[in-house]
Amino acid sequence: MTDDITTKKGKSVSSRDRVDGATYAVVTIALTLAVTIFAFLFLPAIALPMLLAFVFVTAVGWVTYQAEVARILTLIATVLTVLTVGFITFFLFARALPAFLDHGLDLLLVPEQDNGESRWFFWLESVLPSDSTFWNPLSGAYSLIPMIWGTVVVTIIAGAVAGPLGLFGALFISEVASDRLREIIKPGVEILAGIPSIVYGFIGFQVLNGFIQTNFLDDGASFLIAGLVVGVMALPTVVSVGEDALSSVPQSMGDGSVAMGATEWQTMKSISIPAAFSGISAAVILGLGRAIGETMAVAAIMASGTQFADPLFDIFHANTTLTSLIATQYGSASESTVEVLFVAGVMLFVIVASMSIVAQYIERRMQRKLKGQQ
């Protein structure tokens, strides 16, 4: 913008004017947006007029200084996205904080025992039958321990299903299948990921719970069915991420092995899988994250139960998980219960987000390694 801009009519507009105008436009847009956000946060009633003002200013700016306004708009979009992440984190923690302060570590303890003291939770201890009530909002018993255990059991079963099957599926798509078959199976896996969780839940609720009653003499809901269903739901994640990892192994590595006279399976077993191992583990981590966060299927299959299974490994027992606790209790919960539910939400958020970050780190490291930059 150093030269003067010559308009069609031969009049020259100083570049200074243009820059100033653009600056004004950009600053006005940014200001109105900031005011809109503040209004939304603290005085929601006037947020809409402010939003309209922002839209108007933007429209005017778009007509006059399109390039600059476009730039600031994309910046705004970025800032809003980052703000979203920030708001989610902040408001979850903020709503959970009162419960943290009220109950502190009680949320992770076995509730009061005979002597009136809450006990530290030791896994071994609870293998023994315990009669204490873990969750009863009416009497103020808020222990999330059984729900955490429920999440753990469901995730373990789901992992046992999704891990090996997912690895084999990824191998099939990336190495074994012919091109034409791959064109069919890959979208098929994606569609499997697209089936809504409530549909899985409805099938589990209507059919599988009855199935397990006749075939496994159970009284209805069970960890086993919930885990199996969640495993099937996590399967596509494992397959597609694992397949990406396997395909990112350079072709030359496999070719080298084949040139040495190895069979395809030997190449897969000794070259592809070891080279993509970290990517595959990232796939399993992401799949487990998906399983931990799965709500509706679990809530539909196991709607109730807030006590420990006895013994702990009793997979025919039913119990709510962290997610289904939120889904089933939120509607009827009192204010203090809601705060505890937010604590459960914070746990889920932190665990799954950190799993995602770990998986991303592993994937990136593998990519770097395979590209030979390390």
Partner 1 sequence: MSNAYATTDQLVSAESNIYDRGLDTAIALSVVGFMLGFVTLVNLVPPGASGSTLTTAFGTLLAVVVGAVGITSLASYANVVPVTSQRVRGVGLGLVVSTLALTAFATALPVTMATLLGIMLLAEALAITAAGVSSRLELVDAEPNMSAGLLSGGALGVIGLVMGAAVGGALTGFGSRLWLGGAAVAGVGLFLLTILPREDLGSTLPTAIVVGALGLTIVTGTIGVGWQWNPQTLSGGFTGGAVIPVFLLSGMLLSAWSAAKCRAGFGARGREYGAFLVINLNAFLMVAVMATIVVFVTVKGAGYAVHGLTVGALTALVLLTPALLVAVKFARTPAGTNDWNSGARQLFRVLPLAAVGALAAMFASVLVTGSPLRYVYDYTVQVNRQGKTLDTAVAVTPDTTIGTLLLTALAMVLAVAFFRSFGSLRKVGVQSERARLIRRAVPTVVLVFVMLSTLFLVLGPAPFGLPLGGTLGFAAVVGGAVAASGLVVYPLAGVLTSDEPTLADSAQREAPLFTLGVFGGLGLLLATLLLQPVAGINPQVGPVNLVPVIALGAAVASLALVALTTVAKRSSEETITRRVLAEERRLGLVGAAGFTALLGLHVAVTSTSFTVLGVSVANKGSISWPMVMEAYIPLGAEPGGIMPAIIGTVWLVIGATLFAVPLGVGAAVFLTEYAEQGRFTAVVETATNALWSTPSIVFGLFGAAFLIPRLGGDESLLTGMLVLGFMLLPLVLITSRESIKAVPDEYRDASAALGVTQWETIKSVVLPAAMPGVITGVILGVGRIAGETAPLILVLGSTLNAKAGVNVIDGFQFVSEPPFIVNDALMTASASLPTQVWAVIAAGVSGSPQMGWATAFILLMVVLTFYAVGIMARTYFRRKLNYE
Residues 40-69 that bind partner 1 (CB under 8 A): 40-41, 44-49, 52, 66-67
Of 30-38, 119-127, 139-147, 248-256, the window that binds partner 1 (rule: CB under 8 A) is 248-256
The yes or no reply on residue 76 touching partner 1 (CB under 8 A) is: yes
Q: Taking CB under 8 A as the criterion, which residues in 176-195 touch partner 1?
A: 176-177, 183, 185, 187-192, 194-195
The residue from 6, 13, 71, 140 that contacts partner 1 (CB under 8 A) is 71
Residue recorded with tokens 């069970």:
222
The residue from 98, 349, 365, 367 that contacts partner 1 (CB under 8 A) is 349
Q: How far is Cα 22 from Cα 69, in angstroms, rounded to an integer?
A: 8
The yes or no reply on residue 38 touching partner 1 (CB under 8 A) is: no
The residue among 115 and 373 lying less far from partner 1, judged by its C-beta, is 373
Q: How far is Cα 62 from Cα 54, in angstroms, rounded to an integer?
A: 12
The yes or no reply on residue 175 touching partner 1 (CB under 8 A) is: yes
Spatial neighbors of 368 by CB under 8 A, at least 6 apart, are: 374
Pairing of β 135-136 and β 12-13: unpaired
Would you give the end-to-end CA distance of the chain in angstroms?
A: 42
The residue among 17 and 310 lying less far from partner 1, judged by its C-beta, is 310
Spatial neighbors of 209 by CB under 8 A, at least 6 apart, are: 220, 221, 222, 225, 301
Q: How far is Cα 288 from Cα 318, in angstroms, rounded to an integer?
A: 20
Q: How far is the CB of 226 from partner 1 (least distance, A)?
A: 13
Residue recorded with tokens 């937010």:
342
The residue from 5, 59, 105, 357 that contacts partner 1 (CB under 8 A) is 357
The residue from 216, 250, 304, 334 that contacts partner 1 (CB under 8 A) is 216
The residue from 219, 270, 334, 369 that contacts partner 1 (CB under 8 A) is 219
Structure tokens at 217: 């003499």
**CA triplet 22, 25, 29: central angle to 5 degrees?**
140
The yes or no reply on residue 217 touching partner 1 (CB under 8 A) is: yes
Q: Taking CB under 8 A as the criterion, which residues in 297-326 touch partner 1?
A: 299-300, 303, 309-311, 314-317, 323, 326
Amino acid letter for position 122: F
Answer whether the bond into residue 196 is a cis peptide, omega within 30°: no
Q: How many residues bind partner 1 (CB under 8 A)?
A: 120
The residue among 159 and 345 lying less far from partner 1, judged by its C-beta, is 345
The yes or no reply on residue 23 touching partner 1 (CB under 8 A) is: no
Q: How far is the CB of 177 from partner 1 (least distance, A)?
A: 7
Structure tokens at 41: 């946060």
| Phi and psi angles of residue 63, each rounded to the nearest 5 degrees, phi first | -70, -40
Structure tokens at 130: 């315990």
Of 5-13, 24-32, 108-116, 289-297, the window that binds partner 1 (rule: CB under 8 A) is 289-297
Strand partners, 119: 110
The residue from 7, 115, 178, 251 that contacts partner 1 (CB under 8 A) is 251
The residue from 158, 286, 302, 366 that contacts partner 1 (CB under 8 A) is 286
Q: Taking CB under 8 A as the criterion, which residues in 146-165 touch partner 1?
A: 165
Q: How far is the CB of 88 from partner 1 (least distance, A)?
A: 5
The residue from 13, 75, 105, 127 that contacts partner 1 (CB under 8 A) is 75
106-137 burial by CB neighbour count: b if 16+ within 10 A, else e?
A: bbbbbbbeeeeebeebeeeebeeebebebbee
Spatial neighbors of 319 by CB under 8 A, at least 6 apart, are: 146, 147, 149, 150, 153, 223, 302, 305, 306, 307, 308, 309
